[in-house]
Structure 1
Amino acid sequence: MIKLDRRAFLKGAGATGASCALAGVIPGSIAAVGAPALSGSAEAVPSICEMCSTRCPISARVVDGKTVFIQGNAEAKSFGGKVCARGGAGHSLLYDPQRIVKPMKRVGERGEGKWQTISWEQAYSEIATKLNELKSKYGPETVVFSSKSGSEHTYLFDLAKAFGSPNTLTHLTTCPVGMEVASDVMFGTGMKRDIGNSRYVINFGHNLYEGLDMSESRALMRAQMDKHAKLVVFDPRFSMVAAKSDEWLPIRPGTDIAVALAISHVLIEEKLFDKAFVDQYVEGFEPFASQMAEYTPEWAESLSDVPAKDIRRIARELAQAAPHAMINSGHRSTFTPEELDFRRAIFAVNVLLGNIERKGGYFMGKKAATYNKFAGEAVAPELAKPGVNIPKPNAKRIDQMDEQYALLWKMGGIYQSIIDTVNTNKPYAIHGWVMTRTNPMQTMTDRAKVEQALKQMDLVVCCDLYVSETAAYADYFLPECTYLERDEEVKDKSGKNPAYYVRQQVVDVIGDTKPAWQIFRELGVKLGLEQYFPWEDVQTLQLAQVNKDDALLKQIKHKGYVSYGVPLMLREPEMVAAFTAKFANARPVDEDGTYGSALKFKTASGKIELYSEEVEKIAPGRGAIKYRDVSFKQSNELYFIQGKVAVHTNAGTQQVPFLANLMSDNAVWIHPETAAKHGINTGDNIRLTSSVGSEIGQALVTKGIRPDTVFAYMGFGSKNQESIRISDKGVHCGNLLPHVTAPVCGACVHTTGVKLEKV
């Protein structure tokens, strides 16, 4: 047995005993004196980063048997062949002496920090036995399965379905859900941004220069530098993207939607919108225009503090730059209960600009099947979808209690519904929780309720790299190997033209860790579900994906990232001309030199829907895009908002040594006027108190924040002792946020009111 406290960690750094589960004892750790050489490829291996959700194409190699050099893959042009600070820190994650490299079993109370290393066989056997006991006693639906969406999460969800549980939940409602649901109800599909070709960009809090997406962040840089695009930022704080903008307007938190609606008002009132586009492609414009009539810039100013004259001027400038202009839909800024209509309001402005399938606007991804139809030939190979037919579970999902969330059932579910279910036992009690690469203690709201939910479980299993704040409450910890230590299936990365990329192993596996796909396959076999896990290795699955075309698979692996044809946007004459010149059998163009007549949307009407019958049916009164008053705080409180920082990924990288050294705390931004009222100076200890929790942090007095608002970067202040580098450092955002779920889209609301005092 080992107790994972600070003293134990310090001892573990030099330990060699088999009973110690800490990564500091493993061969290859740079913290261990006389460690043997690292085994891996000295030649550059094309692969995929996983230090954030962007998953950039990379190239990595072992240098002198001691470290791993990571750079961007030059084949992926939009990424610039570069990596960010997080991407370059993969070697630090690999060698971290605190990374867990053996399966562990809890031997103390949940959260106490007492663990015992065990074998994989013991872990699988005991977990399978307990899962089957819960299934027999309460039903398979009483076990929930959750994961960060993306790499490898489908393997856990296949296990869930095979086990018989319908309750598979991703992190969607804690991050990009508003944008995704809005896009789905308006366009019938996800929409992509062509930021790099924009001449005018409006940003509502989407901070691409801190919440990095290498492709889009570089695209915004190109737009500003090469296209001389104007960047206008609405944000309560002077963020990095605000610092690089042409205009920063410090909007009141939660009022973004009012400004977006007022921009639509101006475009319609002054007839600055693209009428031809609206007439051909849009459904519900007249009632939308009627609704917008009341949302004047003066009305918006009264709510947002953004001057009406600036709203009018910006709307006119935006229209003048159209269609090569956009409001960036973003995906996580100052969430409000009206998150869905805020994102719909943003998309509505873009529709009025007529920027759909135009440079600098929005477009639909062109996967191989679609692209080949336009080309009239098999330009790009189509991937097969090898899989297993798993029977659909019989029970209802736990988030099916309220019909208004029906759109979420097919997307990723309402993650925080676990909290509601534990509190009410409706529609039934939850007894088990299996999760991978997710940390709801940090990313969900109301930490105390998440802790309560974990403590009430009969079984908690966590697959991760570190003992995160959430994993500290698990019964079993299953150590996943890092992205540098594993192969995965081929992924579709199509944008304006088809593209594929693949993750490949760079170094030999360190310690006794395994890729998640293997972990959940082997657990499935132990559960007696072997028939649903036919892929014994990734290479077999890859070959099935490429329809046994070995040459194609070798090409994808050799380059790491392959794209086909030329970029295509259906309403951009220049692109269509280049496309038809490239392919002799290409579909004939329309009279205006575009493929506009082929543009269809996957909605009931086949058009962009400014009014949604689908939403109205599940949530009466919400079919139309409109403003609804929201209240976050009491009169004696300040707004509390959070955001992302460039050197960390939400709550996922704070324990990585290289990145922890760059930033291990999150000082609270406070305006000088507000600080003076409380006698606070930079560096002082301060307390923030909300309706659900209290946190102590350090003050950063700055003019870069509204006087009525305080700000902190998310992902800090962990309260588990295993996270030595970040434990009790900074403000824990989730401990201050009440448990509030936005209507229809199910978003966790990440804005609240707090009281401020000097400690």
Structure 2
Amino acid sequence: MGSQDLTVSRRTFLKGSAAGAIGAAAGCLGRSAESGDVTSQGERSVVHGNCWICRAECGQEITVEDGRAIDLTGVDGHPKASAGPDREGTLCSKGMAQLEKTYNPNRITQPHIREDGELRAASWEEALSYAADELETFAEEHGSEKLLRYQGYPLAKHPWHDLFFKNLYGAPLKVGRKTTCHGPFSTSWEWMSGYGREWPDWQNSEYIIAWGRNVMECFRGQWEPKGVMDAKENNDATVVAIDPRYTKTAQKADKWIPIEPRTDGALALAMGHVIIEEELYDEAFVEEWTHGFEAYREAVADKTPEWAAEITGVDAGEIREIAIGFATAAPSAVAFPWTGLAYQANGFKNCQNVHALNGLVGNIDRPGGTRQWSKGFSLADPHEKQGIDVPANYEDKPTPDYDDYPFQKHGIRDVSHNLVPKAVERGDIKGFVNNWSSPPKSGNTDEWLQALDDMDLVITVDAFWDAVSKRADVVFPGASQLEQPFLKGGGDSSYSTSGWVTASRPAIDLIGDCKPDYQVYKLLAEEMGWGEYFPWESGAEYWDEQLDAIDMSFDELADQSYAIVSEVGYEQWKDGGFDTENGLFNFDLDVKDEYAELAAEMGASTAPEWQPPDDKHYGETTDDDYPLLFTDVFVEQLSRGHCQALERSVAAYQERYDVEDWDYDGNVLHINPVDAGERGIRTGDMVRVESADDSIELMAHVYEGARPGWVATVNGFGETSSHPDGAGANSMKLNKERHVEPVTGMTARNHPVEVSRVGGEN
């Protein structure tokens, strides 16, 4: 079925969020006072903040009245919250929801400790003493190497979690985001280009392929959707959305390609075939700066658009048109994959095939292409300035040595998210320390819940009750973003060739008995005799010393919200080559020994190739018993950070899909009318989604924006979530240990299922 057969009424799809219409850049909300220094307005003041809910660091203006924050908006000109100099600053709905998160009545505002098997409220003195004693006992009985570190996105705001638990306590094991979010696309890009993650130079592009990437829903800041809209308006850029779901990005795109899920690699190879056949590739770049082109040429030689059309459901003529448009616009063109591909068990190969297109047209680190972002500056190490030698007590500690999966056997990843329960069962992990995250909703849910119950020690810093905090031995109540200072520097932003820093002070007093993150770790370090490594009175003082490196003070920066502090030119690879083992962009990953060994074991090529789902390594296939493919997706209102606990965020999500008047407070299953009709399902029906492993129940949303044969829901609901009623369904109950992408250990989130009405028959 070609994409032209899957039409959708715009009226059917999007009605905007509770805060109003989508606007020129979908998801951009909020506008109030002007930015600048703190200004008094009677009993009101306007101060700066930063939103770290999705690691974007969008600058905020916070209106405070009688000590209470009452309004949020973005900072004009901010590298993350605006489209550039002298441009309006806004916030997405997740950023706006930080008011409700801060003042939510369900928030944890006291420390808790487990006593006689039950959690009880405690003083900080009790909780710190209890935690220190338990950590000391744990190290004596098990060894500190058996304590697992886990982090959420807010941890990007500071280094103190790792300073305490990795460097001082000596816990080497960590589960990182490459096994829960972005492993296949970031790892393949890193190996191919030497840069950790590609970031498009959106605003200067002329042809944008958002490939499984719903950029209009603001994951890395407001600058991204605004940059896309700027490119459309100023450059007459073409935007192509490749996604089985009709997203906000698809709504704004010139073309929506509702591809057959998990076939993205075939489409990319066919595009490469056309570009080479039409001699539209960047011959000079390929010859001088790449490795493995001949292997790539051979890989795409027979991958015609007609071949790909049979696999992907995308018309051959359309494939050819997109390939030519992309290559003709290059180097001001970008193909950018994201979690839509990372969630696939064949995701590494699919991402490698997409990334190869960027190398083929030579768009890397060029205007409008895929930017090799660099800060262009370094901040000082306050410990070095203070003459403090930080130990590395995690070194030389024994770690598990498994070879159950290819990524473990060949040393690419040690412990991935889905394999933590097995490590607990084997006794290689005995405890868990967590910072603002909820692992049971990221994969292998049931086994994770059992693992948490089986661990001897669980410590968490968090703000809401969820599957982790309810099972913890110690719960430290973390301050919200409005209650603590912040500093971050970066490159990827609306300033294409600039590095920047952004900072803010606490906007309001601490609520209840919460504490800023720095104080949590400082007090715990002092309790354990490590106070010398936390000599600063506050995080702001720590950051003040970091900023000495660029001749700024923390107060100066916080007053103005952000500063542009360096210039970073394009084509950085011309000065010393790519940061890869051979200094080149690699079409063929035969230069990576660990991957070459893994590929040989799996019978795969190190060069790009089509690797379909196969029930062995690359994901389960649908059949007569389970004919639909299920996955989970992101939406703007709920994708990060306990938003399920916020009544307005859930209401905005439900209003978006016209289900706000139903007596239901959870997530919905998007199902195409064709699939729903065959099963007698209507919007509002409760349905059971059943896989070969498990089942979940939630409300149906019959929806033209879901491709036939494919169903989806938003992640993070159900009894394991921070939703006060546990409403909806946790999609990760369908996920088990074996559901991993074999190269990176990333959680694979596509499952063959059948859907039926609860209490009814198909």
Class of the TM-score when normalised by the shorter of the 2 chains: 0.7 to 0.9
Q: Distance in 1 between matches of 2:473 and 2:102?
A: 25
Partner residue, 1:163: 169
Alignment check: 8 A CA contact 1:611 1:624 kept = yes
Question: Is residue 46 of structure 1 aligned with residue 48 of structure 2?
Answer: yes
Partner residue, 2:34: none
Question: Is residue 115 of structure 1 aligned with residue 140 of structure 2?
Answer: no
- Deviation by residue 1:525-544 (Cα, 9 ceiling, x = unmatched): 32333344343422331232
Q: Distance in 2 between matches of 1:522 and 1:407?
A: 40
What amino acid maps onto 2:160 in structure 1?
A: Y
- Residues 413 and 564 of structure 1: is their aligned pair in 2 closer, same or farther, counting only changes over 3 Å? farther
Quote how far apart the aligned CAs of 1:567 are: 6.4
Provide the secondary structure at the position in 1 that maps to 2:630: strand
Equivalent runs, 1:279-358 vs 2, <5 Å: 279-333=287-341, 335-358=343-366
- Residues 743 and 396 of structure 1: is their aligned pair in 2 closer, same or farther, counting only changes over 3 Å? farther
- Deviation by residue 1:101-140 (Cα, 9 ceiling, x = unmatched): 100124576xxxx531101111111122122112111211
Alignment check: 8 A CA contact 2:60 2:75 kept = yes
Provide the secondary structure at the position in 2 that maps to 1:700: strand
Quote how far apart the aligned CAs of 1:413 are: 6.1
Partner residue, 1:376: none
Alignment check: 8 A CA contact 1:333 1:643 kept = no
- Residues 49 and 399 of structure 1: is their aligned pair in 2 closer, same or farther, counting only changes over 3 Å? farther
Deviates more, 1:293-302 or 1:320-329: 293-302
Equivalent runs, 1:541-690 vs 2, <5 Å: 541-547=542-548, 551-564=552-565, 568-570=569-571, 597-598=574-575, 600-612=577-589, 613-614=591-592, 615-621=594-600, 623-631=606-614, 632-636=620-624, 637=626, 638-650=628-640, 652-663=642-653, 664-690=665-691
Q: Distance in 1 between matches of 2:444 and 2:199?
A: 32
Partner residue, 1:584: none
Quote how far apart the aligned CAs of 1:154 are: 2.8
Q: Distance in 2 between matches of 1:711 and 1:284?
A: 38
What amino acid maps onto 1:197 in structure 2?
A: N
Partner residue, 1:224: 232
Provide the secondary structure at the position in 1 that maps to 2:741: coil
Equivalent runs, 1:192-591 vs 2, <5 Å: 192-210=199-217, 212-213=219-220, 214-333=222-341, 335-369=343-377, 382-387=378-383, 388-391=389-392, 392-398=394-400, 401=403, 405=407, 414-423=416-425, 425=426, 428-443=427-442, 445-493=443-491, 496-547=497-548, 551-564=552-565, 568-570=569-571
Quote how far apart the aligned CAs of 1:656 are: 2.2
Deviates more, 1:307-316 or 1:544-553: 544-553
- Deviation by residue 1:9-66 (Cα, 9 ceiling, x = unmatched): xxxxxxxxxxxxxxxxxxxxxxxxxxxxxxx994322221123322211121312444
Quote how far apart the aligned CAs of 1:332 are: 4.3
Q: Is there any run of 5+ residues in structure 1 with no aligned partner, and where? A: 1-39, 370-381, 571-594
Q: Distance in 2 between matches of 1:123 and 1:730?
A: 33
Q: Distance in 1 between matches of 2:597 and 2:560?
A: 47
Partner residue, 1:698: 699
Q: Distance in 2 between matches of 1:517 and 1:411?
A: 30
- Deviation by residue 1:239-262 (Cα, 9 ceiling, x = unmatched): 221122222222111111111121
Alignment check: 8 A CA contact 2:632 2:731 kept = yes
Alignment check: 8 A CA contact 1:324 1:358 kept = yes
Q: Distance in 1 between matches of 2:151 and 2:535?
A: 22
Kindly tell me the number of residue pairs found equivalent between the two proteins.
673
Quote how far apart the aligned CAs of 1:453 are: 0.8
What amino acid maps onto 1:325 in structure 2?
A: A
Alignment check: 8 A CA contact 1:691 1:738 kept = no
Alignment check: 8 A CA contact 1:175 1:332 kept = no
Alignment check: 8 A CA contact 1:168 1:412 kept = no
Partner residue, 1:139: 143
Question: Is residue 758 of structure 1 aligned with residue 737 of structure 2?
Answer: no
Alignment check: 8 A CA contact 1:399 1:413 kept = no
What amino acid maps onto 1:447 in structure 2?
A: T
Partner residue, 2:132: 128
Alignment check: 8 A CA contact 2:407 2:744 kept = yes
Q: Distance in 1 between matches of 2:151 and 2:313?
A: 39
Quote how far apart the aligned CAs of 1:274 are: 0.7
Alignment check: 8 A CA contact 1:654 1:715 kept = yes
- Residues 599 and 394 of structure 1: is their aligned pair in 2 closer, same or farther, counting only changes over 3 Å? closer
- Deviation by residue 1:151-189 (Cα, 9 ceiling, x = unmatched): 346322222221121112233321122222122101112
Provide the secondary structure at the position in 2 that maps to 1:710: strand
What amino acid maps onto 1:646 in structure 2?
A: E
Provide the secondary structure at the position in 2 that maps to 1:151: helix
Provide the secondary structure at the position in 2 that maps to 1:44: strand
Partner residue, 2:723: 723
Alignment check: 8 A CA contact 1:490 1:500 kept = yes
Partner residue, 2:72: 70
- Deviation by residue 1:411-449 (Cα, 9 ceiling, x = unmatched): 9963333123124x1xx5321111010101112x22111
Quote how far apart the aligned CAs of 1:76 are: 1.0
Percent identity for Structure 1 against Structure 2: 27
TM-score (ref. length: structure 1)? 0.83
Alignment check: 8 A CA contact 1:432 1:458 kept = yes
What amino acid maps onto 1:431 in structure 2?
A: K
Quote how far apart the aligned CAs of 1:630 are: 1.2
Alignment check: 8 A CA contact 1:266 1:312 kept = yes
Q: Distance in 2 between matches of 1:334 and 1:548?
A: 37
- Residues 755 and 128 of structure 1: is their aligned pair in 2 closer, same or farther, counting only changes over 3 Å? same
- Residues 567 and 389 of structure 1: is their aligned pair in 2 closer, same or farther, counting only changes over 3 Å? closer
- Residues 550 and 321 of structure 1: is their aligned pair in 2 closer, same or farther, counting only changes over 3 Å? closer
What amino acid maps onto 2:81 in structure 1?
A: F
Partner residue, 1:732: 730
Quote how far apart the aligned CAs of 1:736 are: 1.8
Quote how far apart the aligned CAs of 1:361 are: 0.4
Q: Is there any run of 5+ residues in structure 2 with no aligned partner, and where? A: 1-41, 83-88, 384-388, 615-619, 654-664
Partner residue, 1:34: none
Provide the secondary structure at the position in 1 that maps to 2:390: coil
Q: Distance in 1 between matches of 2:182 and 2:478?
A: 25
Quote how far apart the aligned CAs of 1:549 are: 7.2
- Deviation by residue 1:496-545 (Cα, 9 ceiling, x = unmatched): 21211113211011111112222123222323333443434223312321
Q: Distance in 1 between matches of 2:97 and 2:149?
A: 30
Provide the secondary structure at the position in 1 that maps to 2:643: coil
Equivalent runs, 1:76-87 vs 2, <5 Å: 76-77=78-79, 79-80=81-82, 81-87=89-95
Q: Distance in 2 between matches of 1:92 and 1:407?
A: 46
Alignment check: 8 A CA contact 2:157 2:488 kept = no
What amino acid maps onto 2:170 in structure 1?
A: G
What amino acid maps onto 2:512 in structure 1?
A: G
Q: Distance in 2 between matches of 1:88 and 1:529?
A: 38
- Deviation by residue 1:382-408 (Cα, 9 ceiling, x = unmatched): 421234532243224447657954799
Q: Distance in 1 between matches of 2:520 and 2:346?
A: 39
What amino acid maps onto 2:122 in structure 1?
A: I
TM-score (ref. length: structure 2)? 0.83
Alignment check: 8 A CA contact 2:49 2:503 kept = yes
Q: Distance in 2 between matches of 1:140 and 1:338?
A: 36
Q: Distance in 2 between matches of 1:130 and 1:401?
A: 32
- Residues 160 and 552 of structure 1: is their aligned pair in 2 closer, same or farther, counting only changes over 3 Å? closer
- Residues 410 and 45 of structure 1: is their aligned pair in 2 closer, same or farther, counting only changes over 3 Å? farther
Q: Distance in 2 between matches of 1:409 and 1:217?
A: 37
